[in-house]
Amino acid sequence: MLREPVRTILLDIEGTTTPLAFVHHTLFPYARSHIADFLEQHRASPDVRADLAGLRQEYLADVKAALNPPALGYDSPPSQLESTVAYIEWLMARDRKSTALKSLQGKIWEEGYQSSTLLAPVFDDVPCAFDRWSRQNRTIAIFSSGSVLGQQLLFSHTTAGDLTPYISAYFDTTTGAKIDASSYEQVAVRLERSTHDMAFISDATAELDAASSAGLQVLLCERTGNRLQPPGPYTRISDFRAIFS
């Protein structure tokens, strides 16, 4: 299934370690319903202000590209808040892989996890696979469009307990797009690995195309509820039990 040596297993999250439904039917709605209150309480925070500055730059790019985003208000704090929320909701409706948006979502989810409102499901085979790979001295790392904070929160608050002790590194869109081969090369550099010593598992063939182009071995993860992927050359798996068992 995978050829040795594989020193690092790089994993996607949604549809790979965690059901797609949790992300789209729990996490995203939670962020959407709490964004206004969160910004009202925290918009003076330097970290939040940096996220908002990033959103404004993205908004200007959307305007330039004639994508007709909701207008951002400038005149008063109430209208600024209302228009910012509208733009965030517009981005979320398009599932935009926006670094600033993902950063804000992570901060909102942090409050949900800390209050025990949120608890992340993982597939049954994931904890055992993490333990097995760790005992085999393989590094486990995560590459997701969600922010590093969001990833860490998810794996520290799962239905199987805290899985973060198994995970050595987290990568998000600040590293690069997941459909760009150079992103995987950058991950390898940061992990001090050759791409040929790494394997990437994801539910999206476009991501596997990029990782494979960078030299990684790849597997297509087909979980219940995942989006149907086009035919392709990749080995398909439905769980992690057969991977270095």
Q: Give me the pLDDT at residue 4, please.
A: 86
Q: Are residues 101 and 144 in the same domain?
A: no
Instruction: Give mean pLDDT, residues 137-158.
Output: 97
Q: Which of 73, 90, 114 is the last residue of a domain?
A: 114
Domain boundaries, position 53: 24-114
- Look at residue 1 and tell me if it is in a domain: no
- Look at residue 2 and tell me if it is in a domain: no
Q: How many domains does the chain have?
A: 2
> What confidence category does residue 75 fall into, taking pLDDT thresholds of 50, 70 and 90?
low
Q: Give me the pLDDT at residue 182, please.
A: 98
- Look at residue 80 and tell me if it is in a domain: yes
Q: Give me the pLDDT at residue 76, please.
A: 47
Instruction: Give mean pLDDT, residues 173-187.
Output: 97
Q: Are residues 99 and 134 in the same domain?
A: no
Q: Are residues 14 and 128 in the same domain?
A: yes
Output the six-digit token pair for 108: 């909102």
Determine the residue type at 191: L
**Residue of 214, 170, 211 whose CA lies nearest to 191:** 170
pLDDT averaged over every residue in the chain: 95
- Look at residue 244 and tell me if it is in a domain: no
- pLDDT above 70: percentage of residues in the chain: 97
Q: Give me the pLDDT at residue 144, please.
A: 97
Q: Are residues 125 and 227 in the same domain?
A: yes
Instruction: Give mean pLDDT, residues 144-165.
Output: 97
Q: Are residues 204 and 138 in the same domain?
A: yes
Instruction: Give mean pLDDT, residues 64-71.
Output: 95
Task: Identify the three-state secondary structure at position 207.
Answer: helix
Whether 1 has a pLDDT exceeding 80, the answer reads no
Q: Are residues 139 and 232 in the same domain?
A: yes
Instruction: Give mean pLDDT, residues 100-127.
Output: 97
Q: Are residues 131 and 227 in the same domain?
A: yes
Q: Are residues 95 and 185 in the same domain?
A: no
**Residue of 168, 176, 113 whose CA lies nearest to 144:** 176
Cβ contacts of residue 242 below 8 Å, gap of 6+? 1
Q: Are residues 202 and 217 in the same domain?
A: yes
The single residue listed with the structure tokens 């760009």 is: 180
> What confidence category does residue 74 fall into, taking pLDDT thresholds of 50, 70 and 90?
low
Q: Are residues 131 and 231 in the same domain?
A: yes
Instruction: Give mean pLDDT, residues 17-42.
Output: 96
Q: Give me the pLDDT at residue 42, please.
A: 95
Q: Give me the pLDDT at residue 232, please.
A: 84
The single residue listed with the structure tokens 């476009």 is: 206
Whether 77 has a pLDDT exceeding 60, the answer reads no
Whether 209 has a pLDDT exceeding 80, the answer reads yes
Q: Are residues 140 and 214 in the same domain?
A: yes
pTM above 0.75, yes or no: yes
10 Å Cβ neighbour count for 126?
Answer: 21
Instruction: Give mean pLDDT, residues 163-181.
Output: 97
Q: Which of 87, 114, 141 is the last residue of a domain?
A: 114
Q: Are residues 13 and 125 in the same domain?
A: yes
Contacts 24+ apart (CB under 8 A), 109-112: 109/27, 109/30, 109/31, 109/150, 109/153, 109/154, 110/149, 110/153, 111/34, 111/38, 112/30, 112/34
- Look at residue 13 and tell me if it is in a domain: yes
